[in-house]
Amino acid sequence: MRFVDQIRVHAKAGDGGSGCCSFRREKFIPRGGPDGGDGGRGGNIVLEANADTDTLVAFFFEPLIRSGRGGHGTGKDKHGRSAQPNVVKVPVGTIIRRAGATPRDPVEDEPIVDLSVAGQRFLLCKGGDGGKGNTHFKSSTNRVPRQHTKGYEGEEGWFLMELRTIADIGLVGYPNAGKSTLLGALSSARPKAAPYPFTTLHPSVGVVELEGYRRVTIADIPGLIEGAHENRGLGHEFLRHIVRCRTLFFVLDMAGSEGRSPIEDYQTLRKELRLYDPLLAKKPACIIANKMDVPEAHENLKAFKTRFPKLKILPISAEGGEGLQGVRDYAAKKLFAPKVVPEVIVTD
Ligand SMILES: Nc1nc2c(ncn2[C@@H]2O[C@H](COP(=O)(O)OP(=O)(O)O)[C@@H](O)[C@H]2O)c(=O)[nH]1
Ligand SMILES: [Mg+2]
């Protein structure tokens, strides 16, 4: 099974309960008026971005979302019970699009919601209103109304859920550039490992503690190779993961080990990203010049700076623990604007 970061689901909110047709029956009131209560509302389906969930795998096994129907109205003007909403937890960073009823149907380009902040809620399908009891149909000309209405149907639809947020910082680089070493050196905690049987591409995420109790997440996303944009290797899997990292840190082997050239490496990395999604090329990014403990690295860094004078370059030795404070400071500066909570479209 693959890392589930995209899944089509069908959601249907509860139908409303029916209104009731009933008349008062009491001692000494032989022909009482109508007293049929209204039906209750069907339960809404509400999505909630949840920070403790990091996969859509639950929907892989159960791609149907439902909520309860409203109770029917009863006599003595008793209204049916409204059903509780079904609040469905999805990972922070889940994007919802309208889809068709079969996998071949097109998916709408424009998302209907991006659940990007923990706690954010979105009303996906509204429960149906309850029907009206016969009390509502009483009039001067109709004292014995038998009309009552059925409950309305709950909204339903097919949706595509897509998970795109991985971390604040995505480490992008060729194998052996030092991404894993850097992640280990920077991060104090690892969020609980998600139980994906598919591990080769599963991004490894760490938490970096910054001054003032601020924290950012950083992801080591292995697997970028040349031709990734053509889906070579597991290219698209990889690229989809980095789309929603807020910033990218390109990790380069500045020592040029194994005959690599940092300049070429950087150009190829950028090219792969651009060919996959031009937006990726516009993402805020900086260069981590790693392995600066190796003497040759200094020459290479000089050449690199001459070639790319405008790039922000942070020289480090991930293994030797040099320059890591510079990386933290840069992360704090770039990422630690207070998070704006996007307007919640509908809350229940
Ligand atoms: N000399 C030197 N070697 C490093 C440094 N950082 C990582 N390495 C070595 O480079 C190799 C690849 O590192 P790794 O973190 O696994 O790279 P990844 O494939 O990008 O995750 C390992 O043998 C590391 O010990 C560094 O700062 N200096
Ligand atoms: Mg690694």
Q: Using one digit for the tens of pLDDT, what is the confidence trace for 125-138?
A: 999 999 999 999 99
Number of C-beta neighbours around residue 210 at 10 A? 16
pLDDT at 299: 96
pLDDT at 87: 97
- Please say if the pLDDT value at position 195 is more than 50: no
Rounded Cα distance, 175 and 251, in Å: 10
The CB of 176 under 6 Å from ligand 1? The reply is yes
Burial, 171: exposed, middle or buried (Cβ in 10 Å; 0-12, 13-18, 19+)?
Answer: buried
The CB of 185 under 6 Å from ligand 1? The reply is no
Rounded Cα distance, 308 and 310, in Å: 6
pLDDT confidence bin for 341, thresholds 50/70/90? very low
Bridge partners (DSSP) of residue 274 are none
pLDDT confidence bin for 22, thresholds 50/70/90? very high
Rounded Cα distance, 205 and 283, in Å: 19
Atom 12, ligand 1: residue with shortest CA distance: 176
- Please say if the pLDDT value at position 13 is more than 50: yes
pLDDT confidence bin for 115, thresholds 50/70/90? confident
CB 75 within 8 A of CB 51: no
CA of 32 to the centre of ligand 2 (A): 79
Query: Could you say which ligand is closest to the alpha carbon of residue 251?
Result: 1
Provide the 8-state DSSP code for 141: S
Please tell me which of 17-21, 161-165, 267-271 the model is most confident about, judged by mean pLDDT: 17-21
Average pLDDT over residues 174-183: 90
Number of C-beta neighbours around residue 247 at 10 A? 18
- Please say if the pLDDT value at position 156 is more than 80: yes
Q: 283 or 36, which is more confident?
A: 36
Of 70, 214, 227, 272, give the one whose Cα is nearest residue 151: 70
- Please say if the pLDDT value at position 49 is more than 50: yes
Rounded Cα distance, 219 and 118, in Å: 19
Phi/psi of residue 4, each to 5°? -85, 105
Least confident piece of the model among 103-117, 129-143, 328-342: 328-342
pLDDT at 154: 98
Query: Could you say which ligand is closest to the alpha carbon of residue 257?
Result: 1
Please tell me which of 95-109, 146-160, 162-176 the model is most confident about, judged by mean pLDDT: 146-160
